[in-house]
C-alpha cells in the first residue's frame, strides 16, 4: 500500500504568499517556515485571491480584529523549490484553539496529465495525493491577508478602457476599435 505524503506543520513561524518572476509571468508560492525548515508550494493567482477572501470572511465571522498584524515584507526564502502544486484547499476554524487550520492538497499527474481532485482525499485512500496541513493564528492570518493583497495587486497594470492586463509589449484593447 502506497502511503500518502503528509506535511503536518502545527503552529508555523511564517506563512506568506510571494512570487517569482516579472508581472505577467509571475509564479505564485505559499511559503511556510517552522523551526528553520522552509517549504514552498506553488499555486495560481486566483487561488491566492480566494484564500485572501476566505481568510477575511473567517476573521469577520470569528469577530477577530484585535491587534495589528505585523508586516512581513521580507522576500521569500531561497532556494524556492515547490514541494508540489496546490489544488483543492480547505480552511477550518478551530474553536478550541482559536486558530485556523489550512489544508492544501497536491494536483497530481500521470504521464503529463494533471489529475485534480475536487475535495480533500482521505488519508486512507491508496494513492491519495500529498497534502499540507498547518495551523495559523488569527494574527498570522491578518498578516497573510495584508501581504497577499499587495502581492496580488503588484501584477500588470490594467487597461483603463477594458480592464484587461497590459503586457510589457503592449495591449490591443477591444474597446479602442
Average pLDDT for 12-20: 96
Residue 125 CA to residue 25 CA, distance in Å, equals: 36
Q: Which triple of cell numbers denotes residue 13?
A: 513561524
Q: What per-residue confidence (pLDDT) applies to 38? A: 97
Domains in the chain and their CATH numbers?
A: 6-176 (3.30.2450)
Residue 162 CA to residue 63 CA, distance in Å, equals: 37
- Report pTM: 0.85
Average pLDDT for 91-96: 94
Q: Which triple of cell numbers denotes residue 121?
A: 482525499
Q: Which triple of cell numbers denotes residue 96?
A: 478550541
Q: What per-residue confidence (pLDDT) applies to 4? A: 86
Alpha-helical (H) ranges within the chain are 45-61, 138-153
CA 110 to chain centre: 24
Q: Which residues have C-beta within 8 Å of that of residue 32, sequence separation ≥ 6?
A: 9, 12, 14, 15, 38, 39, 40, 41, 132, 134
Burial of 113 (0-12, 13-18, 19+ CB in 10 A): exposed
Average pLDDT for 156-168: 78
Q: Assess contact for 88 and 117: CB atoms under 8 A.
A: yes
Q: Which residues have C-beta within 8 Å of that of residue 38, sequence separation ≥ 6?
A: 31, 32, 77
- The answer, yes or no, to whether residue 166 has pLDDT greater than 70, is yes
Amino acid at each position: 500500500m502506497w502511503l500518502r505524503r503528509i506535511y503536518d506543520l502545527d503552529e508555523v513561524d511564517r506563512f506568506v504568499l510571494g512570487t517569482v518572476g516579472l508581472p505577467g509571468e509571475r509564479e505564485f508560492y505559499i511559503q511556510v517556515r517552522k523551526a528553520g525548515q522552509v517549504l514552498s508550494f506553488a499555486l495560481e493567482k486566483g487561488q491566492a485571491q480566494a484564500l485572501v477572501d476566505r481568510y477575511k470572511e473567517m476573521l469577520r465571522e470569528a469577530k477577530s480584529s484585535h491587534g495589528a498584524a505585523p508586516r512581513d515584507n521580507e522576500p521569500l526564502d531561497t532556494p524556492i523549490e515547490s514541494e508540489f502544486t496546490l489544488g483543492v484547499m480547505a480552511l477550518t476554524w478551530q474553536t478550541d484553539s482559536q486558530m485556523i487550520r489550512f489544508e492544501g492538497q497536491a494536483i497530481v499527474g500521470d504521464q503529463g496529465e494533471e489529475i485534480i481532485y475536487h475535495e480533500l482525499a482521505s488519508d486512507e485512500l491508496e494513492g491519495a495525493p500529498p497534502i499540507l496541513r498547518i495551523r495559523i493564528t488569527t494574527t498570522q492570518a491578518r498578516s497573510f491577508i495584508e501581504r497577499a493583497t499587495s502581492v496580488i495587486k503588484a501584477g500588470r497594470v490594467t487597461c483603463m478602457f477594458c480592464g484587461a492586463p497590459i503586457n510589457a509589449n503592449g495591449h490591443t484593447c477591444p474597446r479602442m476599435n
